[in-house]
Amino acid sequence: MGQSLSKLYVHLTFSTKDRKPDIKEIWELKLYSCISSVFKKYDSPVLTINSVADHVHILFALSKDHALATLVEAVKKESAEWIRSIGNINKDFDWQDGYGAFSVSHFQVDVVTRSIQNQKKHHHNKSYKEEVDEIMEQFGVIEYDASYFWN
């Protein structure tokens, strides 16, 4: 019998719909727990997660048994439903349609972890759009069309 092995680290980021500042600090830890539970269902453990008011960053190990797009769709769907359920003010909450997902070398996991953990401080100096543009450049993403990503 054959054996299949993989160790794929992914830095995932996505925004609230229209980048509205809808993620509230008062319940963000519960949001992280909700998001982490979805990753756990897909055998893709979260290493770290953090957010600011209009977007989230997640570093996780992608299971060899699940497609990235399927996992991201489930995470966004279940977490949006949870946010909508915690108060009438959140009833129209939604995530943007797109997302960014980038491979992370085993040797860079600590660097990316620190970067994600420092998001709140980081965004005092740089907008989410500037951050995403920088990531796209670093990863050589040439097909990046901002008109599709920023909806």
Q: Is residue 100 part of a domain?
A: yes
- Give the structural domain span for 45: 8-149
pLDDT at 67 > cutoff 80: yes
The count of structural domains within the chain is 1
Residue written as tokens 């401080």? 121
Summarize pLDDT for 43-61 with one digit per residue, the tens: 999 999 999 999 999 999 9
Q: Is residue 2 part of a domain?
A: no
Q: Is residue 3 part of a domain?
A: no
Summarize pLDDT for 11-44 with one digit per residue, the tens: 999 999 998 999 999 999 999 999 999 999 999 9
**Which CATH number covers residue 102?**
3.30.70.1290
Q: Is residue 136 part of a domain?
A: yes
Structure confidence at residue 57 (pLDDT): 96
CB atoms within 10 A of CB 135: 15
Whole-structure pTM over 0.75, yes or no? Answer: yes
Q: Cα(93)–Cα(17) distance, rounded to whole angstroms? A: 8
Q: Is residue 56 part of a domain?
A: yes
Q: Is residue 103 part of a domain?
A: yes
Q: How many residues does the chain have?
A: 151
